[in-house]
Chain A
Amino acid sequence: MGVDVAARVGAGRPPGHRRIARLSRGDRVAVALMVGIPFVVVGGLVWFPTIASILLSFTNWDGIGGVSSIHWIGTQNYRQIATIYPPFWPALEHNLYWLGALAVVGTPFGILLAYLIDKRIRGTRIYQSIFFLPVVLAPAIIGLIAELILSPTQGLINNLFEDPRGPGHITDWLGNPSLNLWAVLVFACWRHAGYIMILYLAGLKALDPSLREAAAIDGAGEWHAFRTVVFPAMRPINIVVAVVTVIESLRAFDIVYVINNGENGLELLSVLITDNIIGEASRIGYGSAIAVVLLVVSIVPITLFVWNTFGKKNEAAA
């Protein structure tokens, strides 16, 4: 409404002022809002916390008291994290395992499911719903389900199957630190595969069917056609899938936190950040330093992604 009035007022001005008149007060307010709101949102929710975390990572602030109680301690937090904080290296390692499991098992399995369902086999919708179900559930619920299935004395697996080492032995799926991560990753992949399946399925549906027909006429087998025709044609979706896989593995948190607060074999960087910052511990500086490490780790795939999408586009334009 305001814009209409302003436009009319602008229209009545002498021609020499037309350029300014086009940006009437209403327009300027609209522009200011359109630039200002995203700026405030991005600045307040992305840049401010990021920069604050980086700054705080060089302090030993305990979160109590105002800015005056913050003391600079240089790189001490980073040195301590790398040298005397036992959960740090395992956590980093576990994040990489998580990425590996999703990339090698979860994502390919999701793609396979999407490809099979796209064939319109009987009961497609049912399969689709079944595989998509875990994506609808909150990750914390996946953690609870994992606990119910894996618990050593009450869990489904140990009650259904006899231990291979004979009676009297119990496999500790949740408490054995060299086993529990892999047990949990099965559930993480289960959820992830459904997610990827839906993404990929959407892409496959949009794919021009003549491509595949042409490949079939040329005598390409199923696998050959997928590898040389379908997969390259799906490039935009492939990039999204790759990014989603990396993001999922870096922000993994809920499942392990529900199972045992992310301790004893289930350490992840996200958990260490939470433990130090949110809990009663309140080592804000220390936790921020771990968060910065996670940020640096995340920047690698983000840079690759940005370079891949925008870099290639510029190339094509040139």
Chain B
Amino acid sequence: MQEERPLFDPDALGSQTMTRRAALAAGVGGLTALGLGAARARGAVPTALVQQFAGTVTLGSNYSDPVPKKAVANMLAKFTKQSGTSVKVNTVDHNTFQEQINSYLQGRPDDVFTWFAGYRMQFFAQKGLAGEIDDVWQTLKPQFSTALQNASKGLDGHFYFVPIYNYPWAVFYRKSVFKQHGYKVPKTWDQFLALAKQMKSDGLIPIAFTDKDGWPAMGTFDQINMRTNGYDFHINLMHGKEGWDTPQVKQVFAHWRELLPYYSQAPLGLTWQEGALQLLNKQAGMFLLGSFVGQQFTKPADHADLDFFAFPEINPKYGQDAVEAPIDGFMMARKPKNRDGAVALLKFIGSPTAENTYLATDPNDVGTNKHASTAHYSVLQRKAAQYIAGAKQISQYMDRDTRPDFASTVMIPSLQKFLNDPTGVNGLVKSIQKQKKAIFGT
């Protein structure tokens, strides 16, 4: 950590050098844009510098929200400063990017693009729509845990992905609310239900729950399934190797049913942002969500009051071993126009400098590189980092761990159906199983 800083930190560089370099970069860029002017000007610029600034890498980005967008821009600015390679970013709305990923990757994708780890990444690698990047990982390997290395590999054992950060899913709460009512963090399922009951009698919404967008309910299924049946069963289920009409899956829904009386009213009409508001306004006591819930806690005092605990234990055999911590990162197109530039960019993205820069702007996530600095972490980030590091197994999230077509066309409507009709589980799991067979072919 220490040795990185004097080398790369721009603040450590002389401000004069900085200004000059920035001016040159801007000047060359501007002239190139003018086209004709560039040829004439090139003579005036020393050859060495022109080489240094030559080359552009394109990046297709789904970091469209203001905070992540700025974080990426800051990170890329550092890359350009270091390497002289400029990066042309094509930012697309987060959801649109995902919806168009198929045609995007088959058309003329950017050299590097943003994506997610898990089966969702392996699916496209297997289809030959992403470039293998084993050479990037030669230098990155020692800097990442085995779990993260494995999460970056395709089904063929080659690397296809460079993580930038991950974030945990857990039960979030406000410390002040727990203190005010004297609540204790529950460890087991019974304690969790007892706490929810207590909160309800105290006039709180015990558990904020929102599923208008369809995907947030998946998080609850994942947690209950991993606590009830263990990580291996969960992942096999996600990969289509276990049946959905099994007693294990019915058990998951049976546990879930116990939580329903403690949920927000009208959950299927609310977005997660509205759920976060319930937590923020102290109307709700708890909220099972990813740590991005912190994005809604804009005041520093509120953010400092935010805390989380691991989803409680259901079966002692599996304890609280598994942690759901989706990894976001970057991949390379199958035929990048500028492969050298793409490799350089991916190497940089995997570096501690890149992660530090990114997280400085978007502090709701946790770095993935072992050497990423934790010095600027908030208390919550530090806790999240420890929580993920202590996990025995890490899952990605239902829509990342299973086939994209199964997640979106089968599971979203099915889970919503369960929430509307919690007693019709037998018919529901049969229906899921039939559709799963049709999609997975087994």
Contacts and interface: CB of A to CB of B under 8 A. Distances in A.
Whether chain B is bound by chain A comes out as: yes
Contacts of A280: 98-99, 101-102, 120, 404-405, 408
Main secondary structure of the interface of B (DSSP, over half): helix
A175 interface: yes
Contacts, number: 106
B267 A175 contact: yes
B408 A64 contact: no
Interface in B107-160: 120, 127, 129
A264 interface: yes
Contacts of B267: 175
A226 to B, nearest CB: 41
Interface in A263-288: 263-264, 267, 275-276, 278-283
Given A152-B270, A153-B266, A85 B405 contact: no
A282 B403 CA distance: 11
Interface string A56-85: 000000111100000000000000100111
| Most chain B beta carbons < 10 A, residue from A83, A176, A280, A282 | A280
Contact of A174 (B212, B409, B435, B439): B212
Interface in B262-281: 265-270, 274, 278
Interface range, B side: 35 or more
Nearest to B103: A63
A260 B409 contact: no
Contacts of B102: 63-64, 280, 282
Contact of B265 (A80, A152, A261, A275): A152
Given A172-B269, A275-B408, A283-B405, A154 B129 contact: no
A263 B416 contact: yes
A70 B29 CA distance: 45
Interface string A167-198: 00111111111001000000000000000000
Which secondary structure dominates where chain A touches chain B?
A: loop
Given A80-B438, A261-B214, A282 B405 contact: yes
B268 A170 contact: no
Nearest to B97: A280
B267 to A, nearest CB: 7
B370 interface: no
Contact of A260 (B99, B213, B266): B213
A174 B269 contact: yes
Nearest to A158: B266
Contacts of A175: 211-212, 266-270
A272 to B, nearest CB: 8
Nearest to A64: B127
A281 B268 contact: no
Interface residues of A, number: 38
A263 B274 contact: no
A26 interface: no
Contacts of A282: 102, 404-405
A86 interface: yes
Nearest to A152: B266
Contact of A172 (B103, B266, B404): B266
B412 interface: yes
Contacts of A267: 413
A125 to B, nearest CB: 38
A151 interface: yes
A87 interface: yes
B90 interface: no
Contact of A263 (B99, B127, B404, B412): B412
Given A84-B434, A177-B420, A275-B409, 14 more contacts: A63-B102, A84-B435, A86-B414, A87-B413, A151-B274, A154-B274, A170-B265, A174-B266, A174-B268, A260-B213, A263-B416, A279-B98, A279-B409, A280-B404
Q: What are the 3 A-B residue pairs with the smallest beta carbon separation, nearest first? A: A175-B268, A175-B269, A172-B266
Interface of B: 98-103, 106, 120, 127, 129, 211-214, 265-270, 274, 278, 404-405, 408-409, 412-414, 416-417, 420, 431, 434-435, 438-439
